[in-house]
A and B are shown apart, each in its own frame.
Chain A
């Protein structure tokens, strides 16, 4: 490595430890690139090593992360530097692992997910931030989403027009028609249920307290049963016909339930 032609001096006296590289840029190529820019290459990171460069997280990288003494940086950053012939500042997206001091430094600038506190973000940056985040374990309730949408006035979007609704589909219809042998069931309530969900509603499988609407097949029976059940409920649900759903979807805005009561 001592016989390389120096093309730049951006890495003068900077010590690197390359652990592995991608197929199109193997470890040796990267090391040569560093040397051409005046950098030093070591096989084991020591106290003077600026950073560790890696492409994939293997056992060795994991051990270094556990040791928590060095910054582990993605190969992309090094490649960018070599290409632009300048030392580019680290960004959260470059970091596989940060040593405590680097982490502290980053914490001034970026939040835990790598979104800057001070610099505006844009679609592609936010997309990257989101991509780096694991699928959050915590389940957000429909109410959280509804609150959020209301707070930022997103609740006017047709895609969330039924957000405030908790809907039970009453699948009861005349028994002659619900004959299991008949090829096509004479109801499109299952389609309506999907429509409702698509436009933001919470569709539940059981008629319990908290249900805001019961959507019913117009020719369905036991309307009286539903009504007497409702008398025992604290929060009274509305019993509406299917056309409430179709008309709302058509109009792009929830229609007044009063015109569809059964």
Chain B
């Protein structure tokens, strides 16, 4: 069982925050349950797989594409829901039934992704409990994950620093070795060149002497 909770601001009552709870088994495409809570009352309803197929056809979208849009609309973070709008409308005066619609907003028009009939829940405290539990569970999980990540991060940082230091040592050693070898090489090489010069000089002298005689 997976679920997602987010806040929405229905178009008809934009000043009232509503809590939207979506829950589904393994895959959203197999149908899902919608629960809406406005702080006082709660409504709940189900969207079936066949209903989604019908809605995809109405929107003239491929099923997969439609599902991707639906996931975006219903289960992504609040920041990303800017491209989607939600609305509720009551059936008559009583608030026993609500019609909940979700739409995708394009530049200058929006089209309906789907709608679902929600029935008032007799015991909203159960809904609230579930919402709070969900929130707390999330916080707990994230905290554990965060701690783990931070530990991991620290370890990686340690390893990284260690490796960098080692590498720096090796680089310095290599530079020193290279420098030492090259400088000795140069000294020995220059000795040989000095010898060659002196022999050259000697040869020149001998040649000159030979020519002179």
Q: For residue A159, which residues in chain B have a CB less than 8 angstroms away from its CB? A: 174
Query: Is A113 touching B183 in the complex (CB atoms < 8 A)?
Result: no
B179 on the A face (CB < 8 A): yes
**Is A183 within 8 A of B183, CB to CB?**
no
Q: Which of A155-199 contact B (CB under 8 A)?
A: 159, 183-184, 190-191, 194, 197-198
User: B160 within 8 Å of A by Cβ?
Assistant: yes
Known interface pairs A113-B188, A129-B188, A184-B156; A135-B174 also in contact (CB < 8 Å): no
CA–CA, A111 and B184, complex, Å: 13
Residue of B150, B164, B182 touching A148 (CB-CB under 8 A): B182
CB <8 Å contact, A198 and B153: no
CA–CA, A74 and B187, complex, Å: 25
Interface-side segment among A57-65, A95-103, A136-144: A136-144
Pick from B95-103, B104-112, B165-173 the stretch touching chain A: B165-173
A261 to B122, CA, bound (A): 67
Q: Interface SS of chain B: helix, strand, loop or mixed?
A: helix
**Contacting pair A113 B171 (CB below 8 A):** no
Q: How many residues of B contact A (CB 8 A)?
A: 28
Interface contact A145-B178, CB-CB below 8 Å: yes
**A residues near B, CB below 8 A?**
111-113, 115, 117, 126, 129-130, 133, 135-136, 138, 140, 144-145, 148, 159, 183-184, 190-191, 194, 197-198
Min C-beta distance of B64 to chain A, whole Å: 34
> Does residue B25 face the partner (Cβ distance < 8 Å to A)?
no
- Chain A min CB distance to B187 (Å): 6
Interface string of B179-200 (1 = CB under 8 A from A): 1111111111001101100000
A180–chain B nearest beta-carbon distance, Å = 13
Q: Is the CB of A140 within 8 A of B182?
A: yes
Q: What chain A residues lie within 8 Å of B187 (beta carbons)?
A: 113, 133, 136
Name B169's closest neighbour in chain A (CB-CB).
A194
Residue from B153, B164, B186 within 8 A of A140 (CB atoms): B186
Say if the beta carbon of B90 comes within 8 Å of chain A: no
Query: Please, which residue of chain A has its CB at the minimum distance from the CB of B154?
Result: A183
Q: Given the complex, which residues of B lie within 8 Å of A113, measured CB to CB?
A: 184, 187-188, 191
B202 is an interface residue with CB less than 8 A from chain A: no
Q: Which residue of A lies closest to B196 (CB)?
A: A117
Contact flag A115-B188 (CB < 8 Å), given A183-B150, A183-B154, A191-B167: yes
